[in-house]
């Protein structure tokens, strides 16, 4: 059904792809596969573990081939270095189907952070924020910047969170991509200058925290940011002009929305997270909060 699939199956002796046994299924999609921006996720088994086979989407020309194949190579290369780690997606195997087609077999996770946003408690949210910070600290310590930090890329296994989708990840330095890429609304302003710095991921992390605190899933948050004309802008969290709070109708409206989402959150804890957002959404990336400062704010919010 997919080019190169037979060669991957023959190379991976622990891999099995039983037909008609995974969801969602249809006559046109018997594998229950999922298409992302540049890849296919095919449910499979790997040595007794529920897994996904991830490979470039060779069935579509929608994405420029050079990006599609290069991103897959980057993802496999980075995960070979970063995995295993408790905060990084578990990779069971990886390899090449041919010179251009890199693939990986990853543990199958059933939910992501976007799916549970609006239905978790404040302590659960703080736990996820701390795990994200732990993951970013580790990835950056290896000289890698993820560049696509968004709720959809944080996968959940119960209360455990892992970082996934390293296709856009690059080593710290200067971006060689022709276009700034990433998830709309979550990118940092300095990406337009092709800067690859840990602060890029922390700006995106700030937008993630903003959405979770407000109980807004990605599509809803992006619509609000777009309507307020602060989508992908270098706006601060609470500045007097053109702040991200404009997307909520101002500070009071935002605070009310946070209280509706987290009925048990104390005023002190909410204020602490507001201070963290001020620091993470700082437009000047050289002044933005990093792992240590974020950790301090999260610890204060838990107290």
Please name which of 298, 140, 284 lies closest in space to residue 203, comparing C-alpha atoms: 284
Mean pLDDT of 214-231: 92
Q: What is the pLDDT of residues 108-130, one digit of tens each?
A: 998 999 999 999 999 999 999 99
- The answer to whether residue 295 scores a pLDDT higher than 60 is yes
Mean pLDDT of 188-194: 79
Higher pLDDT, 198 or 4: 198
Please name which of 138, 145, 192, 152 lies closest in space to residue 173, comparing C-alpha atoms: 145
Which of the four pLDDT bands, split at 50, 70 and 90, describes residue 294?
Answer: very high
Please name the fold of domain 111-302. Answer: Transferase(Phosphotransferase); domain 1 (1.10.510)
pTM across the whole model: 0.90
Q: What is the pLDDT of residues 203-213, one digit of tens each?
A: 999 999 999 99
- The answer to whether residue 29 scores a pLDDT higher than 50 is no
Please name the fold of domain 5-107. Answer: Phosphorylase Kinase; domain 1 (3.30.200)
Structure token digits, residue 167: 């296709």
Higher pLDDT, 38 or 80: 80
Structure token digits, residue 224: 């609000």
Beta-carbon contacts of 283 under 8 Å, excluding residues fewer than 6 positions away, are 189, 234, 235, 236
Residue 95 backbone phi and psi in degrees, to 5:
180, -160
Domain ranges of the chain: 5-107, 111-302
**Per-residue DSSP letters for 129-167?**
HHHHHHHHHHHHHTTEE-----GGGEEEETTEEEE---T
Please name which of 245, 182, 183, 236 lies closest in space to residue 214, comparing C-alpha atoms: 245
Strand partners, 155: 112, 162
Considering the chain, what is the average pLDDT of its residues? 86
Q: What is the pLDDT of residue 22?
A: 43
For residues 294 and 262, the answer to whether their CB atoms sit within 8 Å is no
Strand partners, 112: 155
């Amino acid at each position: 059904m997919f080019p190169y699939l037979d060669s991957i199956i023959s190379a991976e002796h622990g891999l099995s792809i039983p037909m008609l046994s995974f969801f969602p299924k249809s006559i046109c999609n018997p594998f229950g596969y999922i298409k992302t921006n540049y890849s296919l996720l095919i449910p499979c088994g790997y040595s007794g573990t529920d897994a996904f086979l991830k490979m470039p989407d060779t069935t579509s020309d929608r994405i420029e081939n050079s990006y599609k194949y290069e991103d897959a190579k980057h993802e496999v290369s980075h995960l070979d270095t970063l995995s295993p780690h408790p905060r990084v997606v578990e990779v069971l195997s990886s390899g090449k189907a041919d010179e251009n087609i890199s693939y990986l077999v990853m543990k199958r996770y059933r939910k992501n952070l976007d799916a549970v946003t609006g239905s978790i408690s404040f302590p659960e949210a703080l736990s996820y924020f701390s795990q994200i910070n732990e993951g970013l600290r580790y990835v950056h310590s290896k000289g890698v910047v993820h560049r696509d930090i968004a709720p959809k890329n944080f996968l959940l296994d119960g209360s455990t969170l892992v970082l996934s989708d390293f296709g856009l990840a690059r080593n710290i330095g200067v971006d060689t991509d022709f276009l700034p890429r990433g998830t709309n609304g979550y990118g940092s302003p300095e990406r337009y200058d092709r800067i690859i710095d840990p602060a890029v991921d922390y700006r995106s992390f700030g937008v993630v925290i903003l959405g979770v605190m407000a109980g807004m899933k990605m599509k809803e948050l992006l619509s609000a940011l777009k309507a307020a004309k602060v989508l992908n802008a270098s706006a601060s969290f609470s500045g007097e002009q053109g702040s991200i709070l404009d997307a909520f109708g101002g500070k009071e409206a935002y605070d009310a929305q946070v209280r509706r989402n987290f009925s048990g959150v104390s005023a002190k804890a909410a204020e602490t997270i507001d201070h963290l957002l001020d620091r993470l959404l700082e437009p000047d990336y050289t002044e933005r909060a990093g792992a240590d400062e974020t950790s301090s704010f999260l610890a204060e919010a838990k107290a």
